[in-house]
C-alpha cells in the first residue's frame, strides 16, 4: 500500500519538476563517473604532487562540486522548460558538450596522471562554459547566472592545474 502511495505521489509531481529531478540525477551520475579516476592510487599520486599554497583541502572538492552540479541542473532545466516556445536546441547541445568535456578532465588529469593534459583540457572547457552561458542567457538570465560559480571554479582549477603542472 505504501509503495503504491509513493508511486502516486511521484506521479503527482508535475512533468516540469520530474524533469528537474531527472536533470539532477543525470548530472550526479556524470559527477560519479568523473570521480572514478580519482579513486585509490590516483589519490596517492595526487597527494604526492607538489601543489601551490592556494590548493584547497581535498574535502572541499566534495562540497563544491555537488553544489555546482545542482546549480547546473537547475540552469539546464530552466532553459529546457522553454522548449515549446523557443529554439533551445543550440543551448542544450552546448551545455551537454561542455559537460562531456568536463567529464573527460578527470580521466586526463587523474587517469593519465597528467597535470599538463588537465591544464590543456581546462583551456578547452572554459570557452565552452562561456558559450553555454551566452546561449543560456538568450533564454534565461537566471540560468546563465547559475553557471557563474561553475565558471569561477573552473577558472580557479585552470590556475591550480597550471601551477601543479609547473611545480611537477
Model confidence pLDDT, tens digit, residues 31-40: 899 888 888 8
Domain for residue 155, yes or no? yes
Q: What is the pTM of this model?
A: 0.87
Domain for residue 47, yes or no? yes
Q: How far apart are CA 83 and CA 35, in angstroms?
A: 31
* Pick from 70, 88, 90, 72: nearest CA to 80: 88
The answer to whether 75 and 143 have CB atoms below 8 angstroms apart is yes
Model confidence pLDDT, tens digit, residues 107-166: 999 999 999 999 999 999 999 999 999 999 999 999 999 999 999 999 999 999 999 999
Domain for residue 2, yes or no? no
Domain that holds residue 101: 15-167
Q: How far apart are CA 47 and CA 41, in angstroms?
A: 10
Q: pLDDT: is 84 or 154 the higher one?
A: 154
Domain for residue 70, yes or no? yes
Domain for residue 125, yes or no? yes
User: How many domains are there within the chain?
Assistant: 1
Domain for residue 1, yes or no? no
CATH code where residue 55 lies: 1.20.1260.100
Domain for residue 141, yes or no? yes
Domain for residue 122, yes or no? yes
* CA 116 vs CA 7, 16, 72, 121, 158: distances in Å: 49, 42, 27, 9, 11
Amino acid at each position: 500500500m505504501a509503495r503504491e502511495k509513493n508511486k502516486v505521489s511521484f506521479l503527482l509531481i508535475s512533468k516540469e519538476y520530474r524533469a528537474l529531478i531527472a536533470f539532477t540525477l543525470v548530472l550526479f551520475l556524470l559527477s560519479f563517473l568523473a570521480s572514478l579516476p580519482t579513486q585509490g592510487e590516483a589519490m596517492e599520486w595526487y597527494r604526492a604532487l607538489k601543489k601551490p599554497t592556494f590548493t584547497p583541502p581535498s574535502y572541499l572538492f566534495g562540497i563544491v562540486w555537488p553544489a555546482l552540479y545542482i546549480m547546473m541542473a537547475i540552469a539546464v532545466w530552466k532553459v529546457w522548460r522553454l522548449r515549446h516556445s523557443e529554439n533551445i536546441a543550440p543551448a542544450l547541445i552546448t551545455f551537454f558538450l561542455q559537460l562531456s568535456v568536463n567529464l573527460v578532465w578527470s580521466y586526463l588529469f587523474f587517469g593519465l596522471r597528467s597535470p599538463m593534459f588537465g591544464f590543456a583540457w581546462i583551456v578547452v572547457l572554459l570557452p565552452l562554459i562561456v558559450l553555454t552561458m551566452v546561449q543560456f542567457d538568450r533564454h534565461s538570465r537566471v540560468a546563465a547566472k547559475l553557471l557563474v560559480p561553475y565558471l569561477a571554479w573552473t577558472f580557479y582549477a585552470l590556475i591550480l592545474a597550471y601551477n601543479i603542472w609547473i611545480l611537477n
